[in-house]
């Protein structure tokens, strides 16, 4: 029998995952994008799937928070979801979090890598556990589908901030 991993109150077995990685080159340096990414309260400004993010303390590894999805799923999520946990926070490089889902977890990683002409922005989302197909249908598909919108909004916010700071 394969090993069982526990994520908070959730449990899932390896091999029961759905993972999608999206990437795009953005015409901004990582530091310009980081200013928006690292401010969790601004995530709804660039992520069309969210109407709010609440952090329960400072933005650091181990801190918890609450994602508030838009529409009906947000109302359900606010009643039944456990808080996410920040699992990685490396300035100008990476933010990762784990959101418990029924019988598993969603892992979301956002990575910035300096490249010629800007920054490679990578989003990796993984759903694990026996309910992954249901969770992909509810939220996961949109996380992937809206990646181009997220990228465009991040560039717009980074450019606006750079113009404001100049």
Quick one: pLDDT band at residue 77, thresholds 50, 70, 90?
A: low
Residue 136 has pLDDT above 70, yes or no: no
pLDDT on residue 163:
56
Residue 79 has pLDDT above 80, yes or no: no
Higher-pLDDT residue of 40 and 143 is 40
Element (H, E) at 86: strand 84-90
Quick one: pLDDT band at residue 4, thresholds 50, 70, 90?
A: very low
Tokens, residue 111: 């990575």
Print the domain residue range for 26.
15-165
Within a domain: residue 53?
A: yes
Average pLDDT, the chain: 82
Alpha-carbon distance of 27 to 119, in angstroms, equals 6
Within a domain: residue 160?
A: yes
pLDDT on residue 127:
82
Within a domain: residue 124?
A: yes
pLDDT on residue 59:
95
Helix (H, G, I), strand (E, B) or coil at 88: strand
pLDDT in tens, 29-71: 999 999 999 999 999 999 998 989 999 999 999 999 998 887 6
Alpha helices in 6-146, H assignment, sequence order: 30-37, 43-46, 71-80, 132-135, 141-145
Smallest CA-to-CA distance from 34 within 87, 84, 106, 89 is with 89
Within a domain: residue 119?
A: yes
pLDDT on residue 145:
78
List the CATH number of the domain containing 73: 3.30.530.20
Within a domain: residue 120?
A: yes
pLDDT on residue 154:
96
Within a domain: residue 52?
A: yes
Within a domain: residue 7?
A: no
**How many structural domains are present in the chain?**
1
Q: What is the strand order of the sheet 118-128 is part of?
A: 17-26, 118-128, 104-115, 94-101, 84-90, 64-69, 50-55
- Read off the pLDDT of each residue in 132-139 and give the average, rounded to a whole number: 68
pLDDT on residue 18:
80
Within a domain: residue 113?
A: yes
Residue 20 has pLDDT above 50, yes or no: yes
pLDDT on residue 75:
57
């Amino acid at each position: 029998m394969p090993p069982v991993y526990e994520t908070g109150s959730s449990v899932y077995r390896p091999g029961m995952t759905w993972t999608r990685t999206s990437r795009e080159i953005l015409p901004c340096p990582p530091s310009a994008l980081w200013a928006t990414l690292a401010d969790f309260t601004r995530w709804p400004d660039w992520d069309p799937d969210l109407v709010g993010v609440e952090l329960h303390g400072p933005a650091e590894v181990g801190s918890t928070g609450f994602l508030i999805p838009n529409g009906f799923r947000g109302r359900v999520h606010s009643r039944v979801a456990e808080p996410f946990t920040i699992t990685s926070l490396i300035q100008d490089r990476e933010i990762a979090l784990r959101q418990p889902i029924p019988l598993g977890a969603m892992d979301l990683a956002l990575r910035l890598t300096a490249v010629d002409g800007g920054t490679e922005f990578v989003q990796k989302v993984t759903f694990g556990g026996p309910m992954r197909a249901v969770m992909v249908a509810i939220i996961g598909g949109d996380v992937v589908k809206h990646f181009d919108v997220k990228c465009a909004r991040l560039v717009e916010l980074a450019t606006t901030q750079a113009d404001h700071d100049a």
